[in-house]
Amino acid sequence: MKLYCLSGHPTLPCNVLKFKSTTIMLDCGLDMTSTLNFLPLPLVQSPRLSNLPGWSLKDGNAFLDKTELIDLSTVDVILISNYHCMMALPYITEHTGFTGTVYATEPTVQIGRLLMEELVNFIERVPKAQSASLWKNKDIQRLLPSPLKDAVEVSTWRRCYTMQEVNSALSKIQLVGYSQKIELFGAVQVTPLSSGYALGSSNWIIQSHYEKVSYVSGSSLLTTHPQPMDQASLKNSDVLVLTGLTQIPTANPDGMVGEFCSNLALTVRNGGNVLVPCYPSGVIYDLLECLYQYIDSAGLSNIPFYFISPVANSSLEFSQIFAEWLCHNKQTKVYLPEPPFPHAELIQTNKLKHYPSLHGDFSSDFRQPCVVFTGHPSLRFGDVVHFMELWGKSSLNTVIFTEPDFSYLEALAPYQPLAMKCIYCPIDTRLNFIQVSKLLKEVQPLHVVCPEQYTQPPPAQSHRMDLMIDCQPPAMSYRRAEVLALPFKRRYEKIEIMPELADSLVPMEIKPGISLATVSAVLHTKDNKHVLQPPPRPTQPTGGKKRKRASDDIPDCKVLKPLLSGSIPVEQFVQALEKHGFSDVKVEDTAKGHIVLLQEAETLIQIEEDSTHIICDNDEMLRVRLRDLVLKFLQKF
């Protein structure tokens, strides 16, 4: 059993598990931090941006490709744990010769589609006249200014995929539900479990009859909108692959939401605008819910909230129809019937308005001071670029970073000097280390495998021993482009016995509770399932040809020696020997058993725990006599 690690990003994992003749890809996250090396893509040509020194304004999106560790066309299935971890799917399904199936829950697919659609839309609406790629040549890259010249593996950066590729990739997905058991070639069974992090987010169990591997990726124990995490089903795992923990272990989400609300209120009260760069789904639902409760108390009822994204409408509406994937509280609302999320009411009362883009209705409705939620959190493309340019010059305005995926300082770099206030309150509801250690205590896996980042404190806080995984035995760590041999051997395989064959067995109890029977059968293996079938009866000799063919097929099972069991009591054995006329019997004790010496016959009988040897020279008659004597003491079956 091997694990191929294709991503070095712990929250955007991509691993391939080889388990019992199947090749399973676990997630395919897209690390977009390389976009920070590019200039923002403004909706309108910005002279300021294009004149910035030392910044490249050429390429589109970027993608960190997998290494040549494994031939991706051999991957049988891809298991997706949440919508953030499927963003690289088109690159794999469309360009690698992949012919397998992708499994994901319905909300994951629908919201994943929205995220991809938004990404493609953001990139495609500002087409580039030309695209440069020669700079990726290592010799030229060396000459580029920092940090570009220090970027690793730029040759693997890719252009953003197209909508066509997205559609084709998504068509290969098969929808699954929580706790649904999916057979893969009869060899293993995979099951998605609720992970509590996002709508439809799942952990996966990959198990055979005797082995169980759990894949935990992006889970949360906090009470937010999704169904709570299913921990019980993770118990008794041989290996638990643990990825997708919180990226900001020192920030408590509750505290950060408080910080978010207070800063928002302070800015708006002073007549400033608030910009929240965010993804179109996920934490935004919780933020809107918090604000729903907060705006009245903070006297912000008259402040408009704008949500601008090509998929804003779909995102808000999708969230309301996935009732079965929501936490219990929200599910019960549906039966009242009420929309599970309060943002419906915000929209009804005109407090929250959503637009596909800046153009059109938005420009006529736009009223300040206001709060704008829009993408992309990297600040490199999407409508957020426009608002940064628009509001950046006034110190009354505030940009509040809530998504933890990008370094906010790097994201802000091309907008400097910036007068607007910047608040960093990353909200990451994924497991923190305290929760992980509780989870591991509860679930008790035999082995834990995790990215190497989790096995040591963060470099900036090397004294925080609490910010690492602490378990026994110590977790096995992996890094990008490593192949890990998982630390357990498969020892058993399940074989079924056909009922008629089982009927014919005659078990013999050799010890209380243990019975044995000899089986003669044909092992039939198909689709990784093994069945013992009764051997075909020796057919009656009807015709020469047929008989011959039959005998070809039947394995030779005629010469069956009985199996022996039991032990030889030495004293009784000696008495028996004496009864049979051997008079000069001597017994020597050895480390492993006994040696019985028949001096006259120059014969040795070596009795050990698991073997008995009769050593006599050229006297087959004697040997057979002795053998029969020995056999009298043993059970046969």
Q: Residue 351's CB: how many other CB atoms inside 10 A?
A: 19
Pick 263 or 313: Cβ nearer another protein? 263
Q: Which residues lie closer than 8 Å to 637 by C-beta, 6 or more apart?
A: 506, 508, 516, 517, 518, 562, 563, 565
Joined tokens for residue 504:
């014919």
579, 557 contact by CB (below 8 A): no
**Residue 293 binds another protein, judged by CB under 8 A:** yes
**Residue 141 binds another protein, judged by CB under 8 A:** no
Shortest approach of another protein to residue 202 CB, angstroms? 29
Burial (CB < 10 A; 0-12, 13-18, 19+), residue 543, is exposed
22, 79 contact by CB (below 8 A): no
Shortest approach of another protein to residue 360 CB, angstroms? 33
Among 48, 95, 464, 586, binds another protein (CB under 8 A): 464
Pick 96 or 263: Cβ nearer another protein? 263
Q: Which helix (H) or strand (E) holds 173?
A: strand 173-176
* CA-to-CA dists, residue 278 to 26, 282, 399, 490, 567, angstroms: 26, 9, 11, 45, 75
* Rounded Cα–Cα distance for residues 407 and 423 (Å): 12
Span near another protein by CB under 8 A; candidates 123-131, 212-220, 251-259, 609-617: 251-259
Pick 80 or 256: Cβ nearer another protein? 256
**Residue 290 binds another protein, judged by CB under 8 A:** yes
**Residue 524 binds another protein, judged by CB under 8 A:** no
Shortest approach of another protein to residue 290 CB, angstroms? 7
Q: Which amino acid is at 607?
A: I
> Do strands 514-516 and 2-5 pair parallel, antiparallel, or not at all (unpaired)?
unpaired
**Residue 223 binds another protein, judged by CB under 8 A:** no
Among 50, 137, 297, 363, binds another protein (CB under 8 A): 297
Pick 269 or 490: Cβ nearer another protein? 269
Closest CA relative to residue 221, chosen from 254, 267, 256: 254
**Residue 251 binds another protein, judged by CB under 8 A:** yes
Shortest approach of another protein to residue 297 CB, angstroms? 5
Pick 271 or 536: Cβ nearer another protein? 271
**Residue 221 binds another protein, judged by CB under 8 A:** no
Residue 369: cis peptide before it, omega within 30 degrees of 0:
yes
**Residue 301 binds another protein, judged by CB under 8 A:** no
Write the DSSP string, 402-417: --TTS-HHHHHGGG-S
Pick 298 or 576: Cβ nearer another protein? 298
Alpha helices in 125-193 (DSSP H): 138-141, 163-170
Shortest approach of another protein to residue 262 CB, angstroms? 4
**Residue 265 binds another protein, judged by CB under 8 A:** yes
The conformation of residue 19, written as its DSSP 8-state character, comes to: E
Span near another protein by CB under 8 A; candidates 186-194, 244-252, 412-420, 476-484: 244-252
Closest CA relative to residue 420, chosen from 304, 277, 273: 273
629, 559 contact by CB (below 8 A): no
Joined tokens for residue 453:
């980042």
**Residue 479 binds another protein, judged by CB under 8 A:** no
Among 94, 106, 259, 389, binds another protein (CB under 8 A): 259
Closest CA relative to residue 15, chosen from 24, 2, 23, 5: 5
Pick 81 or 220: Cβ nearer another protein? 220
Q: Which three-class secondary structure state does DSSP give residue 56? A: strand
Site string for another protein, 431-450 (x = CB under 8 A): ---x----------------
- Specify the length of the chain in residues: 637
Pick 73 or 223: Cβ nearer another protein? 223
What angle, rounded to 10 degrees, do the helices at 620-632 and 570-579 form?
Answer: 130
Shortest approach of another protein to residue 238 CB, angstroms? 28
Pick 299 or 507: Cβ nearer another protein? 299
Site string for another protein, 384-423 (x = CB under 8 A): ----------------------------------------
* Rounded Cα–Cα distance for residues 114 and 310 (Å): 9
Cα 106 from chain centre: 17
**Number of residues forming the site for another protein (CB under 8 A):** 29
Q: Which three-class secondary structure state does DSSP give residue 336? A: coil
Shortest approach of another protein to residue 226 CB, angstroms? 21
Write the DSSP string, 31-45: --GGGGGB----SS-
Among 53, 138, 143, 296, binds another protein (CB under 8 A): 296
Shortest approach of another protein to residue 136 CB, angstroms? 41
**Residue 271 binds another protein, judged by CB under 8 A:** no
Among 97, 145, 147, 299, binds another protein (CB under 8 A): 299
**Residue 263 binds another protein, judged by CB under 8 A:** yes
**Residue 465 binds another protein, judged by CB under 8 A:** yes
Among 69, 182, 266, 587, binds another protein (CB under 8 A): 266
* Binding site residues, another protein, CB under 8 A: 250-252, 255-259, 261-263, 265-266, 269-270, 290, 293-294, 296-299, 425, 434, 461, 463-466
